[in-house]
């Protein structure tokens, strides 16, 4: 059986593997990168490091990240994602090259409900050929699931693309 | 360069590797196991899982762990470790088979000062043949450092024994 430490390690290792994979696969795309949920800023710190030259926008209700991983003010889209994502669609069009979402808490059922509600809001924003990396299974109509990179743990993360 | 995500993963993977190693190496010892710093309860959850039959006492100033990983009341030694560890020495004698310490925050210098102050308080409690696993380098007079297990990352954890 897995301890909470095992589960947590698997989740973090999977996020890293999926982000590394998605950053590389979309490196020639010009559209922005979206980080949904800043939290402590660990994945954002990693994204900045592997994508130093790309525009990374952070969607967050209330910024409370580690000082080393706090985005510049003009890169934070502050507010509820159900408002800021539609606004981003108006601003950027369907151009996002990479979207990473880790919005959940530790209540599985709530996370699943949230993912269901969020899916149609994310769906129109991803560019063709773009990748969406999520810590929860998403419910898309048109985006399709992509195979995970070798280091990722099945069920701990999901990758979708727009064909 | 390592991102904060890389550092964090290395710390957790190292904690797990050292705990697995130390639990196995001390499995025939009868003394108690001490967890210093409960935090979220992830390492405690792991310790309970790999040592289901052993007495695990948790030293913590203020319990705020995940509900799934909250120890029974009579296994919590509540208060500052500089008071509760000397009290534990009186109660149990020098019998601890395994001590795990993860008491630090993210300020390296403060953690180092804390480890210096804590070392002489931990030193007399470890049983002969017992192991102490720490996330910070400790400053012991009589305990000696032990080689890390293969999965642990050098500098992310330390193991000491009483010979
Ligand atoms: C980094 S957290 C432990 C995380 C834990 N290993 C986990 O995996 O979830 C450190 C904990 O040590 C506790 N702590 C720090 N200094 C302490 C002290 N002097 N006495 C007692 N507890 C202390 C804090 O309250 C905090 O909960
Ligand atoms: Ni829970
Ligand atoms: Ni810091």
Q: How far is A163 from chain B (nearest CA, A)?
A: 30
What is the ipTM score, two decimals? 0.93
Find the radius of gyration of the CA atoms of chain A: 15
pLDDT of residue B1: 81
Instruction: Provide the pLDDT for residue A1.
Output: 83
For residue A118, the enclosing domain spans 4-161
| Contact state of B1 with A66 under an 8 Å Cβ cutoff | no
Give the model confidence (pLDDT) of B44-62 as tens digits: 999 999 999 999 999 999 9
Task: Name which of A1, A8, A41 is nearest B49 (Cβ-Cβ).
Answer: A1
Residue B83 CA, chain-centre distance (Å), reads: 17
pLDDT in tens, A72-82: 999 999 999 99
Rounded to an integer, what distance in angstroms lies between the CA atom of residue B36 and that of residue B23?
16
Whose CA is closest to B26, among B133, B134, B140?
A: B133
Residue range B81-129, pLDDT digits in tens = 999 999 999 999 999 999 999 999 888 899 999 999 999 999 999 999 9
Residue A39: its pLDDT value, please?
Answer: 87
CA B148 vs CA A39, B18, B102, B125: distances in Å: 32, 7, 17, 22
Look at residue B125 in the predicted model and tell me its pLDDT: 98
pLDDT at B29: 98
- Mean pLDDT in chain A? 95
pLDDT of residue A107: 83
Using the 8-state DSSP alphabet, how is residue B77 labeled?
A: E
**At a CB cut-off of 8 Å and minimum separation 6, what does A51 contact?**
A23, A33, A98
Q: How far is A123 from chain B (nearest CA, A)?
A: 27
Asked if pLDDT for residue A84 goes beyond 90, the answer is: yes
Whether the per-residue pLDDT at A106 is higher than 80: the answer is: no
Cα–Cα distance, B28 to B79 (Å, whole number): 30
Among residues A68, A12, A1, A62, the alpha carbon closest in space to that of A37 is found at: A62
How far is Cα B29 from Cα A63, in angstroms, rounded to an integer?
A: 47
Mean pLDDT value across residues B15-36: 98
Mean pLDDT of all residues in A120-129? 98
pLDDT higher than 80, residue A103 = no
Count of beta carbons in the 10 Å neighbourhood of residue A94: 14
- Tally the domains of chain A: 1
Is B66 touching ligand 1 by the criterion CB < 6 Å?
Answer: no
CATH of the domain at B109: 3.40.50.150
Which residue of B5, B39, B71 is the best one to mutate when testing the A interface, meaning the one whose CB has the most A CBs within 10 A? Answer: B5
Res B106: pLDDT:
80
Which of A129, A163, A148 lies closest to A14 in space, CA to CA? A148
**Is residue A104 over pLDDT 90?**
no
> Residue A105 — pLDDT band, cuts 50, 70, 90?
confident
CB A100 within 8 A of CB A75: no
For A46, A65, B139, B146, the CA distances from B161, given in Å and listed in that order, are 36, 37, 13, 7
How sure is the predictor about A68, in pLDDT bands with cuts at 50, 70 and 90?
A: confident
- For tokens 């880790």, what's the residue? A102
Decide: residue B107, CB within 10 A, 0-12 exposed, 13-18 middle, 19+ buried.
exposed
Q: Is pLDDT at A131 greater than 90 in this prediction?
A: yes
- Could you give the percent of chain A with pLDDT greater than 90? 88
Q: How far is CA B32 from the centre of its chain?
A: 12
CA-based max dimension of chain B: 46
């Amino acid at each position: 059986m897995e301890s909470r430490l095992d589960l947590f390690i698997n989740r973090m290792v999977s996020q890293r593997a999926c982000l590394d994979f998605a950053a590389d696969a979309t490196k020639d795309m010009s559209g922005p990168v979206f980080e949904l949920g800043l939290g402590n800023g660990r994945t954002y710190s990693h994204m900045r490091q592997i994508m130093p030259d790309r525009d990374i926008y952070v969607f967050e209700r209330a910024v409370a990240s580690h000082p080393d991983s706090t985005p510049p003010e003009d890169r934070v889209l502050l507010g509820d994602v159900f408002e800021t994502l539609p606004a981003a669609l108006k601003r950027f069009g369907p151009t996002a090259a990479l979207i990473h979402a880790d919005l959940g808490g530790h209540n599985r059922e709530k996370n699943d409900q949230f993912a269901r509600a969020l899916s149609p809001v994310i769906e129109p924003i991803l560019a063709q050929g773009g990748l969406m990396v999520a810590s929860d299974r998403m419910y898309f109509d048109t985006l399709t699931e992509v195979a995970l990179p070798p280091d990722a743990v099945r069920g701990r993360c999901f990758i979708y693309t727009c064909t």
